[in-house]
Amino acid sequence: MTALRPVRGTKDFLSDDSRKRRFVEDCAHDVAVRAGFAEIATPIFEFTHVFARTLGDTSDIVTKEMYTFQDRSGESLTLRPENTAGIVRAFLSNNLTQQLPLKVFYRGPMFRYERPQKGRLRQFHQIGVECLGAGTPIADVEVIALAADVLARLGLKHTVTLEINTLGDTESRSAYRTVLVDYLSARAESLSEDSRVRLQQNPLRILDSKDAGDRAVVAEAPSLEDHLSAPAQAFFAEALAGLDALGIGYRVNRQLVRGLDYYCHTAFEFVSDALGAQGTVLAGGRYDELVRQMGGPPTPGIGWAAGVERLMMLAEGCPPPPRPIAVLPLGAAEACTALALARELRQEGLIAEFNAAGGLGKRMKWANRINARAAVILGSDELARQVATVRDMDSGTQEDVALAEIAGRLSQSS
């Protein structure tokens, strides 16, 4: 019989991994909430058109990576490969257009069928923020600063570098598109098959290509920087000035692009060389056309997302789990009293683990294995005297303590 195993690209989060994942997510949540970003949770699957419509029919995500299936009613559904589209769908479905600016934080699993790599799984987890309704450069600065604060909270302030670029406004991108198509058309035979299709449908997507041949062609392509309108240049300059004012360091990377048409102005990534080829830790950008593309009113937006698994690999300062108290009745007659005592300890905010199985020696070994700081032992003699033996698991010293006083005593020593 073949041993049961997880599906390729998925993993079980056992105790230590779950604790570190929660640490990463909770740090981000705390920083976001302090900045006025309320938590939102959307379904892990949506109608397929929510993603196909926003990510583009020629994107790798839509054509190769989405987990799409038909439900019993014949509807095409897709496990979310990212969450921005779902947030915008929720914004429109719940008629939140009168609550702008809308600032939200999210966390949860995403799904992409791609080759598993270090820090990249087929079911992976993300944290992210979206800010809808704020179209000024200072909104970009706030969102980037929030990302920097999250990474600093995780101990990564000196581990990551902020790279930033401008994608320009509609006027800039339209002018650039014409020049780019002329350049790429003359070199179409050197492009990958996917990029030759994109050349006809969405040439800016070629700038995102990971194909080595495409990247060689793109490396010599005309620069978007040379086609920026005056307002686009001013927008970017103001965003950079805001980062300077906050003391947030950055590196302008003119190769940093987003191929989808709804992206504009600021694009940014926090990168690290500690992850090998997969160096992006957190990525974001402005998407002023997305809400309108999804059928809503013109609404500016900016956000970012970060892979939790990657952050777990880099994060520092995750505290060790708190040490529990082991509550050990010696017989069936003492079990209920011991369990009531364990519940009292828990109500006092302590971690109390209860074990009524096996002999005392076996249970003391168990108490050591769970790294208990104290063991509360209750036998028939102790029960008759309404006391329990409290043993310090580090020093080995022990004393009898009245049952009514144990919770207070252990709370003081925690």
Mean pLDDT in order along the chain per 10 residues (414 residues): 80 90 96 96 94 67 80 94 94 92 96 81 95 96 98 93 94 89 90 85 79 87 90 96 97 83 91 78 94 93 96 90 94 92 94 91 93 94 93 94 92 78
pLDDT for the residue numbered 236: 97
Query: Residue 22 corresponds to which tokens in the numbers above?
Result: 């929660």
- Virtual torsion, Cα 156, 158, 159, 160, nearest 10 deg: 90
DSSP SS3 for 315? coil
Which segments are annotated as binding site? Answer: 82-84, 112, 126, 130, 258, 262-263
Cα distances (Å, whole numbers) of residue 366 to 314, 352, 355: 32, 13, 9
β strands within 90-204, DSSP E = 102-111, 123-132, 161-166
Determine contact, residues 221/116, Cβ cutoff 8 Å. no
| Chain centroid, CA 224 distance in Å | 30
Which segments are annotated as binding site for L-histidine? Answer: 82-84, 112, 126, 130, 258, 262-263
Interior CA angle at 167 toward 166 and 170, to 5°? 130
β strands within 264-315, DSSP E = 264-271, 280-286, 301-307
- Virtual torsion, Cα 220, 221, 224, 226, nearest 10 deg: 70
Task: Name 164's bridge partners.
Answer: 252, 268
Residue 206 CA to residue 408 CA, distance in Å, equals: 66
Interior CA angle at 386 toward 382 and 392, to 5°? 60
User: Which domains are present in the chain?
Assistant: 15-169+229-314 (3.30.930.10), 325-412 (3.40.50.800)
DSSP SS3 for 271? strand
**Local structure of residue 67 (DSSP, 8 states):** -
Query: Residue 318 corresponds to which tokens in the numbers above?
Result: 């995750």
Q: For residue 160, give the amino acid letter.
A: V
Residue 68, C-beta contacts closer than 8 angstroms, at least 6 positions apart: 48, 76, 77, 78, 79
Determine contact, residues 339/326, Cβ cutoff 8 Å. no
pLDDT for the residue numbered 177: 87
Smallest CA-to-CA distance from 261 within 211, 217, 216, 198 is with: 198
Residue 197 CA to residue 199 CA, distance in Å, equals: 5
Residue 162 CA to residue 39 CA, distance in Å, equals: 25
